[in-house]
Structure 1
Amino acid sequence: MSSAPRTDGRVTGADEAAVVDPDYPVTPVPAHARKSFFSVAVVLLGFTVFTPTMLAGAALGPAFSFGDLLLVIAIGSLVLGAYVAVMGWIGARTGLTTVVMARYTLGSRGAKLASILLGGTQIGWYGVVVGTIGDLTAEAFGWESYGARAAVMVATSALMCATAYWGYRGMYWVSLVSTPLILVLAFWVLARSLQEVGGWGGLAAIEPTTSMAIAVAVTTVVGTFVSAGTQAPNWTRFARTGSHAVWACVIGFLVGNGLMVFFGAVGALTFGEGDFVLVLYQLGLVGWGLVLLFGNLWKSNADTAYAFGVAGAELFDRPRKAPFVVGGSVIATALALAGVEDHLVDYLVLLGTFIPPLGGVIIGDFLARWRRGILEDHVPPALRWPNLAAYAVAAFLAWLSGELGVGIPPVIGIVVAVALSMALSRTSGDRTGAGARG
């Protein structure tokens, strides 16, 4: 019997010896490896308490009155949180990563699209973060040399890569230590920001100085973590129950991410800076600013490296994520050195348009065919054309919505993808969930 893992993502019999990665990148997480609710929630909250998200909030803050700003953040966070919670629930039920679940939805070859799309966007996001660290560190110390910034980028990228290489345990411990400290610093800066404008009343009295369509604003909020949220099953597959996964996603993506967008908006309105790291610099607290910078981005980017690591393992049908964590980190660091972070807002809009339909197709297909679990002996076809077509139509309509300024692109993409994939799965007669393992 061959020692390579099966292309459907399962390893049985003698094949189990080939799985040397304790994070199970291409196989279901077994019961003995599942984690507590607290553990999964810590990892997801550590992922989304992420200072570059504040830059999205900074773009929103000056464009809306305070009441409208809260409404935009609430709508975007609800869309993101609800979407990710469903994805996380499916991850806990199947024990599979998003890209391996895509094998059942899109086919064993069609899933390569998901691996390239999700892994590729995460590599780009990793590059954004590494570039941000280099620039903000240089600003803290007054370095003008590109070489100094580049050295910081390379060194911090190596640290993040090593954490992801260690796997779930590494991300858990880094998040457990750094996230509470980061939140304390962020709330302190929020309080200091309110002092600048005379409290909540003064903040509410600030008039908009720019403009932005509500659909674009909501798409920006969703886009902050929609790519990562689509890959929430990478971590919720370790949850012991579906409800644990749902609540961990709500804490991380609705509460945690929403707070970071709000913090960025307040910083932009009060200090003219969305990033609280720069606000701390302005207040003369450079040391604390660096603590916030490194502690925050280290843990978040380790999760990002983990995500493109498991995507690479699926793409090349390998049982270990480690080579792809390293390779993706090298590519992302090269992008950072080239200045990829300068295009953040446009990048977020693209993510908010083309990533959600992929998760929508997975959700719709799971609800139509796999609610009772995935059959042990089911081997996916090479391509599942109905779901590939559903993704293409949903992504096109999401893009068209953004071009025409009609509706909210990520919501349209998710809803159309769920509806089409459910309808096509039901009408095709390929409903194979009955009798499957739960």
Structure 2
Amino acid sequence: MFSRTTLPSITAIAVALTLTACAGEGTSGAAASGPPDAAGDDSALGDGHGTIAGAQELPEPQLHLLSLDETGTLSHLDLLDESVGELGTVDGVADVATEGRYAYLVRPDAGAVTVVDSGVWTWSHVDHFHYYRGEASMLGDVEGSGRATVAANDAGAGLFFAETGEAIVLDAATLADAGLDERVRVSVEPHDGFIVPVGSSALVTEPGADGSPTRVRVVDGEGRLGEAVECAGAAGTIATVVGVVVGCRDGALLATIGDAGVIELERIPYPADAGAPPATEFRAREGRPTVAAVAGASGIWLLDTRKRSWALVDAGTPIVQASAVDDTDEHVLALAADGRVLVLSGATGEMLAATEPLVAASAADPELVAGIELIADQHRAYLNGPAERRLYEIDFADAARIARTFDAAAEPRFTVETGR
């Protein structure tokens, strides 16, 4: 059914040293799936290191692909042993988001977001990582009205219901205890917006007179509205190792946590001579400073949040998605409109490699193309082909070699990577 290769893993010696270094620090207590702030301070978690009762710490990342097919069945593919488990069935899903552990299933007709704990996660301890595996479970629904937009990161999950303007932040710590406690709930004027957690606070979009998002406002941990900053055409958000990015028509806002624990907002404008449409959706390898976004038909915006700078590269062909690997070779991945995966140099824009058209039928189908996801991690890229009924693993550093192909019994309409 598929070609098999061995996935690269963390060096055993390095893992042993990491676990020894933390052995005296304890491994009990409840925690979220990532660092509570950009400084990596885990004091709020006691000596937990990301573990919860009943979970097992393991020497390498427990990477999985979670897919939802046209029947509503959730499948969880273990990328280490290639086993597949079913997590349940959920109807009416129009989108799926994740921060690496939890999957958020957007169900517009039900006016709800169903939250699933994948049971696998990685804990960042600044200079090393801890890897955990527990039981997967369906945590339940967060109810609203109509379609929700989800912005999830290690600080929690922001759920925004455009029809009513309800903005909710789920608490990361209680998610780890199988709870759906709301840390923040505020109401703004209905519009097509979002709310994104930033540390213990959040940013929520607000509309202007024409009903489109024109600014973002700080919301503190008690749900109190604070400072508002202009951000015309606010669209797209992503968390990096530096802070949280929000896309604006004239560039981006970067939100970081200052010494006093207060959100600090910094504007990163586009180059004056850019001549490309603004970014509206960001993608990147988890925990890196550089993120990518589509810029017009064939352009790719690269935003380095550490250097506070933009770069524009040309893929040379129409693309529908772009993601920054941000490794030492500055690889950038793109999904071409014809279904190929492209590997580009972020430094020069040169095309380094390309696959055959892996998902041509899916990319040509307006109902399926929105669910295709090109996922980048440290060693591999993953791509779902709904019409092709396949999942692909691609070694982007080895001339875009297809490392493994997984045949699916049904259409993998949506796919996210968990365990990272």
Calculate the TM-score normalised by the size of structure 1: 0.25
| Structure of higher CA gyration radius | 1
Calculate the TM-score normalised by the size of structure 2: 0.26
The structure whose RCO (Cα within 8 Å, separation 6+) is larger is: 1
| Larger proportion of strand | 2
